[in-house]
Chains A and B, each alone.
Chain A
C-alpha cells in the first residue's frame, strides 16, 4: 500500500496564480484532512472531510477550497495565491483514530 500520497512535492507560484494540490489514500479511510505547517505554529487544520461528497471548514479555511468527489481523493485549491499561503501543506486520512500523513507539499508564493 502506498498510504497517503501528495502531488506535487514542491511548487512555486506567483501572487494571484491558482493551483490544486492532490491527496490520494489507498486505505479506504472515511476521513481526510488538509493542514498547513508554518515555523513555530504547529499544524493548523484548513479543511476536512468525513466522507465522500462532504467537506467542512477547519481553523484556517480562508483562501482555500476543497473537494472530495471520490473517497480516495481530497483536493485542495488555491484560487488566487498570496504570499501568506507560503507553507508546507500536509494531507492526512483516518478511520477514525490515528491519522496517516502524506509527505507534504512545499509551496512558495512570490
Chain B
C-alpha cells in the first residue's frame, strides 16, 4: 500500500507561475523526500527534509513538513517549461534510516509556455 498520497494528481499552470503540490502520509517518518521524473526517465532526487525540520529551501524549491498533520508541500517558484514532469514524495522511517522509502503516486505537472 502507498504511504504517501500526492495532491493534486495533475496540475497545469502558466510559465512563470508558482506550483504547489502536497503529500500526505499515514505513519510516523524520520524523513521525507521529493523526486522528479521526466517522461520515460528515472527519478531524480530534489530535496530531503527530516522529521525535526519544518522548512527547507533549494534554489526555486521550498519544502515544508508538518508532522502533526502528516503532510508536506513542495513549492516550485517561477516555473519553467523544463519543470514539466511528475513529482513524487517518498517517506522513510521511523524504524530504519533511508534505506527503504515508500513512494506516493505522484503529481503530474505541466507548465504551459
Chain A residues close to B by CB (< 8 Å)? 4, 31, 33, 35, 40-45, 48, 50, 58-59, 90, 92, 94, 96-104
Contacts and interface: CB of A to CB of B under 8 A. Distances in A.
A45 to B, nearest CB: 7
A97 B104 CA distance: 18
Interface of B: 1-2, 33, 35, 40-45, 48, 88, 97-106
Which 9 pairs across A and B sit closest by C-beta, in order of nearness?
A: A101-B42, A98-B45, A42-B105, A43-B103, A101-B43, A96-B98, A42-B103, A31-B99, A96-B99
A94 B99 contact: yes
Contacts, number: 57
Contact of A48 (B2, B45, B100, B104): B100
Nearest to A106: B40
B83 to A, nearest CB: 18
12 contacts: A35-B103, A42-B103, A42-B104, A43-B88, A43-B103, A44-B103, A45-B100, A94-B98, A99-B98, A100-B45, A101-B42, A104-B41
Dominant secondary structure of chain B at its interface with chain A: loop
A99 B45 contact: yes
A90 B43 contact: yes
